[in-house]
Amino acid sequence: MTFELVPSATYSSPDIPELIIKPDISHGNHTTLGKTTGLSSHLVNVTKDDLNFTDKDIPSPHNKESKLGQLRAVLTTLQDDINTFLTERMNKDSTETTDKDRDLERRILDEGVDEEDKD
């Protein structure tokens, strides 16, 4: 299967001038059921015991024979890739901030040094 329409996304930040995110189209296992989209873990836990529960917002399967159907599935893959990348960035930023906060707290408690005392 060849993909004529391949979407991409561009990300930039102070530490990353430009990053182009493209889905890997070589495997061809694209679907409209995203890995990072759908029911939240909270709803999954609440509804897993409810035998009458039906996810009414689940996307319909894509038409594998049409260009737009292929695009729709590849867009879902791109959205998953973007969500994964941004989650990893947020977790990294959160860890770095936590380390900085711990260092500041240690300096304040151990040495009596405050950020305002740096000058």
Domain boundaries, the chain: 9-118
Instruction: Tell me the two tokens of residue 44.
Output: 């999954």
- Cβ proximity of 66 and 82 under 8 Å: no
Write down the pTM of the prediction: 0.62
The SS3 call for residue 18 is strand
**DSSP assignment of 38-106, as one string?**
SS-HHHHHHHTT-TT---TTPPPPP-TTSHHHHHHHHHHHHHHHHHHHHHHHHHHHHHHHHHHHHHHHH
Residue pLDDT, tens place only, 21-43: 988 877 778 888 778 776 666 66
Structure tokens at 74: 């590849």
- Give residue-wise pLDDT tens across range 39-95: 666 666 666 666 566 666 677 777 777 888 888 888 888 998 999 999 898 888 777
